[in-house]
Amino acid sequence: MKKSVVSKEYTNLQKEIVKLQEQWKQSLNPDRIKPNLDKAALNAGVPVAALTVIDFEITLFIQWIDEINKLIAKNNPELEGKLTKVSELLNEETAIRWIDEAFALNHIYFNRFAQENEIEEWIPQFLAETALRPYLQLTAEKVQVEIHQAIPGSGCPVCGEPVRLAQLEGEGKKVIHCPRCLAHWAEKRIACSHCGNDDHKTIQNITIEEDPTSQIQVCEKCHGYVKVIDTRQYISKPSSAILDLNTIHLDFIAQENGYKAVVDYNDSIR
Ligand SMILES: [Zn+2]
Ligand SMILES: [Zn+2]
């Protein structure tokens, strides 16, 4: 099996984007984000970000999208015309809509936007999501000390992203990392993040022959999976966003074997 299923160009572009997001996050005034840590809501699986008041600076959001466009165009000159068109379309009103729809992960809205404006389908949502993340990441930073666990099946307690990545730390403790907002929380070594199953008879680890630091933990009850990466031997630890991308081959293996990172509730109660 080939380990690198994503092109080097794509990985490099993603790395540059992650670097930009870090700079943008640093430039944000933390006072613009007011998280509401409602314990009852957290226990019910409502992500913190859904109750957080974020004072978005729309002109800055638009400026960030222009910066991503320039970066993509530099790497893919054939897209330049389309990306310029996006920049022209992105007025303040559209930008506010984009923030809302990116937050809600509304694929339908973005697909329609792409179709109506004859832009490649992936572009609008990718841009909106990329420029939204620094806000989610700053939200996560502000509440991280309060995040100790997640409700199985509810995804990331900060941003709601489905769980798919864990790292082994210390004595072998399993820590779930969210590649979207970078929040993290511990989980029992043998437990399914999707349905809460902790029966060692129905939780298996798929090991990867050529890659002793990677495993895929799969649950026979709900058919969910989580990638478990032992990063303790890594000389430099990549950000969770990069680690998620670098281990995308594991997602393919899991999915080829019938496992999913987003579990349908009907599957888990069967
Ligand atoms: Zn998250
Ligand atoms: Zn499960």
What are the tokens at 124? 């609008």
Which residues pair with residue 185 across a beta bridge? 176
| Smallest-distance ligand from the CA of 219 | 2
Q: Among residues 228, 168, 217, which one has the least CA distance to residue 195?
A: 217
* d(CA 74, ligand 2 centre) in Å: 43
Phi, psi of 157 (to 5 degrees): -65, -15
Position 182 scores a pLDDT of 97
pLDDT surpasses 50 at 269: no
pLDDT surpasses 50 at 33: yes
Model pLDDT for residues 51-82, shown as the tens digit of each residue: 999 999 999 999 999 999 999 999 889 999 99
Strand boundaries in the chain, DSSP class E = 33-34, 53-54, 165-169, 173-177, 184-187, 203-207, 214-219, 225-230
| Smallest-distance ligand from the CA of 180 | 1
* d(CA 40, ligand 1 centre) in Å: 19
129 vs 210 pLDDT, higher one: 129
Average pLDDT over residues 80-97: 94
Model pLDDT for residues 159-201, shown as the tens digit of each residue: 999 999 999 999 999 999 999 999 999 999 999 999 999 999 9
pLDDT surpasses 60 at 2: no
Burial class of residue 12 (count of CB atoms within 10 Å of its CB; 0-12, 13-18, 19+): exposed
| Smallest-distance ligand from the CA of 163 | 1
Q: What length is written for the chain? A: 270
Distances (CA, A) of 134 to 29, 130, 137, 148, 238: 11, 8, 5, 22, 17
Burial class of residue 91 (count of CB atoms within 10 Å of its CB; 0-12, 13-18, 19+): exposed
* d(CA 218, ligand 2 centre) in Å: 7
Task: List residues, by chain if needed, whose CB lies under 5 Å from ion ligand 2.
Answer: 192, 194-195, 197, 219, 221-222, 224
| Smallest-distance ligand from the CA of 154 | 1
